[in-house]
Homo-oligomer: A and B are copies of this chain.
């Protein structure tokens, strides 16, 4: 990707870093690029929830929810707090909420 150097402050290390950033960035957006997962994230932006509650909210099977939570966890979009048998999920950091809000703003502008 030498042709991208002009965008990466000219340094090779910066170019490589950018490449890695792009890959992670794409994975992050992809994790949010699913109707089920984006609803999970949105629900979690209102507060902590356990797996069972998410299943009920989204009317989805437990394995499917666990699978999605794993995807979100892998990208550090959500985090778990285990309490006995119950796993409580919440957003991992404040950027996630900002990201969601920016996205909603764009989509709502798009609709109206």
Contacts and interface: CB of A to CB of B under 8 A. Distances in A.
Interface of A: 1, 3-4, 7, 20-35, 37-39, 42-43, 46, 56-59, 75-76, 93, 95-96, 98-100, 102-111
Dominant secondary structure at the A interface: helix
A93 B107 contact: no
Given A26-B35, A38-B29, A43-B7, A102 B98 contact: yes
Nearest to A23: B35
A35 B22 contact: yes
B57 A38 contact: no
Contacts of A46: 7
Contacts of A75: 110
